Amino acid sequence: NHHSNNSKSDSRGALIVLEGLDRCGKTSQTSRLVSFLEGLGHSVESWRFPDRTTGVGQMISSYLSNESQLDDRAIHLLFSANRWEKRSLMEDKLRSGTTLIVDRYSYSGVAFSSAKGLDIEWCKAPEIGLLAPDVVVYLEISPEKAAERGGYGAERYEKLEFQKKVAQSYNMLFDASWKIVDATLPIEDIEKRIREIVLDCLITCQKGKSLSQLWS
């Protein structure tokens, strides 16, 4: 970026994760946030998981669109592998000062798979050692309200009964570092709240907060 402030250019980027049920508004907010941070002169990229562009990502995509069937544990491990194949690039970007805004991460992995009945500790295990986010923004919406938004498509998990279980699974993952934002507010209000959360987070990273690993 073009800033001459040394403390800023020397500091690492922040790892910011957006989570929530299907249709909670993550993708809309991710792009708004990226534009906002770019406007402030930050180096920032928008990422998403699953990353459907890789070989593993294509297997996941075909599973989600019901073109293929996979054992629950097999697909869980593919979602995790999809994050592992991006881990070193993620670390390089962060260390070189780029902030990453990530639409879904390990918490989706655990919430969706444990909603199928898999043991939560088993679900967390393959995520251990991935980079821990600096902040997790959870866009909270009831499964009923989410289902009203533009209607669910044909993807595998876009069903009301399943989303109710996913919401319960997410509740078990919340900790003090999560920021819960009401996803039923107008888009602009949510955007404003997320900006505040993220600017606070960037300050702690600039002050030298080090990168850590899941599961912490």
Residues that bind ligand T5A (CB under 6 A): 20, 22-28, 49-50, 64, 79, 104, 108-109, 112, 149-150, 157, 186-187, 190
| Residue 201 C-beta: closest distance to ligand T5A, Å | 20
Contact 74, 82 (CB under 8 A): no
Q: For residue 60, which of 16, 112, 25, 20 has the smallest C-alpha distance?
A: 112
CA distances from 131 to 66, 102, 169, 211 (A): 30, 12, 21, 7
Does 11 help bind Na ion (rule: CB under 5 A)? no
Nearest to Na ion of 18, 135 (CB atom): 18
The CB-of-2 to Na ion minimum distance in angstroms stands at 31
Task: Pick one of ligand T5A, Na ion, none as the site partner of residue 14 (Cβ within 5 to 8 A by kind).
Answer: none
Residue with Cβ nearer ligand T5A (39 or 150):
150
- Amino acid identity of 132? A
Query: Which residues between 182 and 211 bind Na ion (CB under 5 A)?
Result: none
Task: Tell me the number of residues near Na ion by CB under 5 A.
Answer: 1
CA 112 to CA 183: how far, in whole Å? 19
Least distance between ligand T5A and beta carbon 207 (Å):
30
| Interacting residues of 153 by C-beta distance below 8 A, sequence separation 6+ | none
**Of these, 27, 46, 61, 142, which contacts Na ion (CB under 5 A)?**
27
Taking CB within 5 to 8 Å according to partner kind, which of Na ion, ligand T5A, none is near residue 191? none
Q: Are 50 and 73 in contact (CB under 8 A)?
A: no
Spatial separation of the C-alpha atoms in residues 98 and 111, rounded to whole Å: 28
Beta carbons of 91 and 70 less than 8 angstroms apart: no
| Chain Cα centroid distance, residue 116 | 20
Query: Which residue stretch of 23-31, 122-130, 164-172, 205-213 sits at the interface with Na ion (rule: CB under 5 A)?
Result: 23-31
CB of 27 to Na ion, least distance (A): 4
Residues that bind Na ion (CB under 5 A): 27
